[in-house]
Structure 1
């Protein structure tokens, strides 16, 4: 009978270490986000064929692409639900939402979740995460008045690559984005 108690003790220690690691990771992410706001850094991702910039304060986590369970009677751009850290998260193909042909998810695909403060358990399917970009190092190409307000601000890098800055908070309030049913 000593074995089950030892197993329980080991399991408790493992959970304690995991909690401690999660707290440390959260502190690092918050520190990085705080520094990112001050330095104007954005998360650069490839959504479909679009190079996009995401405000780090609006991003929750970046997790590897995983199994997504389709939800019946939803629009094609709503890919379904994924289990992210034990919680159900809706997964959206933003390229499809914008009317682009969705490319297949390759080995570099990631799910980029919305920050918890946005109040929407959602993730965008990114074909690739491209790292961090400083807004100060990009040329401001202005606002596209024909585009929705959440994706209207455009930038260009030194190589001539166009970037669109997404405002996930505005996207999370857009009625069409919130209505995923057919």
Structure 2
């Protein structure tokens, strides 16, 4: 089978994407209303930690787009990237949290955009996205959740992150150095 035959055509890809988006919307509405399936969250790895994001706070998951560097900004602010016609600030969350930075590219590296409802055109760089996780099936351990395999997941609120003054101020000043 040739490469051309192995690839689905654009219409088939769009139909699958539309179906996936409809399923995701149904899950989000069920989570909002408290009916239906248990609450699921997006699992991702940033640096050495695994995090759970509320689906209502996450926008799109996209392959990394090389950001244009912005002068006089903090090291964890990687610059501006064009994601589907929208300029978003790209944040290396690992570096923001004091860890070694996430490589800007790689087979598993992804950008997660913030939901439009948060009012900030921003995307986080993640080492890996694990997909949907059922937080309701996890057990609580201190400030984290533990899944059936013993993996620790820390809840991450993007809404809380965008309210942090340090997160909102990306200018390089002496106190940021």
TM-score (norm 1): 0.77
Counterpart residue number, 2:63: 64
- Paired position in structure 2 for 1:34: 29
**Residue 160 of structure 1 pairs with residue 155 of structure 2:** no
Root mean square deviation of aligned Cα: 2.1
Q: Structure 2: 5+ residue runs without aligned partners?
A: 1-10, 173-177
Residue correspondences, number = 154
Deviation for aligned residue 1:159: 2.4
- Call closer, same or farther: CA 1:134–1:24 in 2, change over 3 Å: closer
Query: When the two structures are superposed, what TM-score results if normalisation uses the length of structure 2?
Result: 0.79
Q: 1:119 maps to which residue?
A: 119
Matches of 1:84 and 1:133, distance apart in 2: 25
Higher-Rg structure is: 1
Counterparts of residues 98-177 of structure 1 (less than 5 Å): 98-104=97-103, 105-143=105-143, 154-177=144-167
Runs of 4+ in structure 1 off by over 4 angstroms are 20-28
Gaps of 5+ in 1: 1-16, 144-153
Deviation for aligned residue 1:40:
1.0
1:32 Cα deviation from its structure 2 partner: 3.3
Residue pair 1:36, 1:56 contacting (<8 A) in 2 also: no
Task: Write the distance in 1 (CA, Å) between the matches of 2:23 and 2:81.
Answer: 25
